[in-house]
Amino acid sequence: MHAITIPEPGGPEALVWDEVPDPVPGEGEVLVEVVAGAVNRADILQRQGFYNPPPGASPYPGLECSGRITALGPGVGGWAVGDEVCALLAGGGYAEKVAVPAGQLLPVPAGLGLKEAAALPEVVCTVWSNVFMVAHLRPGETLLVHGGSSGIGTMAIQLAKAVGARVAVTAGTKEKLERCAELGADILINYREQDFVAELERATDGAGADVILDNMGAKYLDRNVRALAVNGRLAIIGMQGGVKGELNIGALLRKRAAISATSLRARPLEEKAAIVAAVREHVWPLVADGHVRPVVDHEVPMPDAAAAHRVVEDSGHVGKVLLVTPR
Ligand SMILES: NC(=O)c1ccc[n+]([C@@H]2O[C@H](COP(=O)([O-])OP(=O)(O)OC[C@H]3O[C@@H](n4cnc5c(N)ncnc54)[C@H](OP(=O)(O)O)[C@@H]3O)[C@@H](O)[C@H]2O)c1
């Protein structure tokens, strides 16, 4: 088969469409013939040499894909050759074939094309596990999503609105904020021109955000704590603004607030399977009834993954960029 390999870490040109051995599905795994993969910010870090795949994972980039099952490994039940699926991956989505633990498979939701389904697993699992399973966002509460027009952000807005929450977003341009509003965002904050703590305070009559989904890490730690409501929950999923910040514990205490930080990729198989099962139960019906849709900016042939990386690295996209395998 062919896959995108990274012979030497570097810029987008480091991504090479190469002939590589086919993966063999192990115990509890299936082989998926990939129709499409999707780009995540983490893939850029992997390309640059800063985010190595966890032990045992495919060396190729790609944290999600869609396609058809072509073989079952030993001990797999509930799936059949020919099933159309999408999958959460620890790697290997930028390839024509990938071996996937069966617990990380999802059926293609009703009403959605096979290709588009590639845009869902990583963002849905990340948002559901952090905003709902950890931070327990409830109807009527306010969620602040940093980077509202990102792959993660576009999903977080839709899921939070679908459960009846109020959504505030930050983004870097007016056009991106407009796209967030189209997806349902109620409070729009341009992080280049406005102070999100002050804007949120104004929009919530001083209450703040019950839950914050944060991609920035250190750079926003202090401001995020200030923007939290009493009993607020800050869910950190990214470190785009650095890894070491200073925390005002007094402010956290007074607000009786909580901070969590999780990474999906390296979690044990059982934890990923539990998240995927929760997504299938709670999110798939919302996709099937049209409340939640993947936001696809554009698609690129997989061998041209470098072009997709250039766009995502420059934040020239809204939602997801798909990588379509040549046929
Ligand atoms: N922990 C996990 O398991 C996990 C899983 C998936 C993703 N993530 C993280 O989630 C984040 C989003 O991932 P993605 O793939 O959806 O990325 P993406 O589409 O590339 O989006 C990155 C976002 O960062 C925003 N941003 C940049 N500077 C900002 C600032 N100062 N304030 C607020 N937002 C800012 C950009 O906004 P503009 O375009 O408006 O500038 C853009 O929306 C990344 O940090 C990624 O590492 C974590």
Query: pLDDT digits over 39-92, tens only?
Result: 999 999 999 999 999 999 999 999 999 999 999 999 999 999 999 999 999 999
Q: Is the pLDDT of residue 155 over 90?
A: yes
What does pTM read for this prediction?
A: 0.98
Say if residue 114 is in the same domain as residue 143. Answer: no
Residue 1 CA to ligand 1 centre (angstroms): 31
Q: Same domain, yes or no, for 59 and 178? A: no
Same domain, 201 and 178: yes
189 and 317, same domain (yes or no): no
**Closest C-alpha among 203, 207, 184 to residue 195:** 203
Which of 209, 242, 261 terminates a domain? The answer is 261
Structural domain count of the chain = 2
The residues near 183 (Cβ < 8 Å, ≥ 6 apart) are: 154, 157, 158, 161, 295
Is residue 91 located within the same domain as residue 153?
no
Tell me how far CA of residue 48 lies from CA of 13, 129, 267, 313, in angstroms: 11, 27, 22, 11
The two beta strands, 209-214 and 228-236, are parallel
Q: Structural domain of residue 151, as residue ranges? A: 124-261
Residues with CB under 6 A from ligand 1: 40-42, 122, 126, 146-147, 149-153, 170-173, 176, 191, 215-216, 237-238, 240, 262-264, 312, 315
Based on the fold, state whether residues 64 and 111 are members of the same structural domain.
Answer: yes
What CATH number corresponds to the domain at position 15?
3.90.180.10
Which residues, including other chains, have CB under 8 Å from residue 137's CB and lie 6 or more apart?
A: 131, 143, 160, 163, 165, 210, 211
- Measure CA 129 to chain center: 11
Q: What percent of the chain has pLDDT over 90?
A: 100
| pLDDT tens digits along 156-210 | 999 999 999 999 999 999 999 999 999 999 999 999 999 999 999 999 999 999 9
Of all protein residues, the one whose alpha carbon is nearest to atom 47 of ligand 1 is 238
19/109 same-domain check: yes
Residues 175 and 292 both lie in one domain: no
Shared domain check, 42 and 136: no
Do 272 and 251 belong together in one domain?
Answer: no
Q: Final residue of a domain: which of 232, 261, 290?
A: 261
Taking residues 112-120, report their average pLDDT: 98
What is residue 327's predicted lDDT score, i.e. its pLDDT? 82
What is the tens place of the pLDDT at every residue in 5-38? 999 999 999 999 999 999 999 999 999 999 999 9
Q: How many angstroms separate the alpha carbon of residue 274 from the centre of ligand 1?
A: 24
Which of the four pLDDT bands, split at 50, 70 and 90, describes residue 232? very high
Question: How high is the pLDDT of residue 4?
Answer: 98
- Asked if residue 184 lies in contact with residue 175, where contact means CB atoms within 8 angstroms, the answer is no
**Residue 228: CA count within 13 A, CB half-sphere:** 26
Q: Which amino acid, 324?
A: V
- Mutating to test ligand 1, I would choose from 152, 188, 199 the residue with most ligand atoms within 8 A of its C-beta, which is 152
Cα–ligand 1 centroid distance for 178 (angstroms): 17
Ligand 1 centroid from CA 96, angstroms: 27
- Residue ending a domain, among 237, 261, 285, is 261
Residues 11 and 24 in one domain: yes
Task: Give me the percent of the chain exceeding a pLDDT of 70.
Answer: 100
User: Do 92 and 168 belong together in one domain?
Assistant: no
Beta bridge partners of 69: 32
| Each residue's pLDDT tens digit, 242-251 | 999 999 999 9
Q: What are phi and psi of 28, to 5 degrees?
A: 75, 10
pLDDT value, residue 281: 98
Which atom of ligand 1 is least distant from the CA of 313?
A: 20
Judged against a pLDDT cut of 90, whether residue 100 lies above it is answered with: yes
Q: Please report, for the domain that includes residue 214, its CATH number.
A: 3.40.50.720
Tell me the average pLDDT across 95-107: 98
Q: Which residues pair with 209 in a beta bridge?
A: 228
Give the contacts of 234 (CB within 8 A, at least 6 positions apart): 211, 212, 214, 224, 225, 228, 257, 258, 259, 260
* pLDDT on residue 241: 98
List the one residue out of 120, 119, 103 whose CA is nearest residue 271.
103
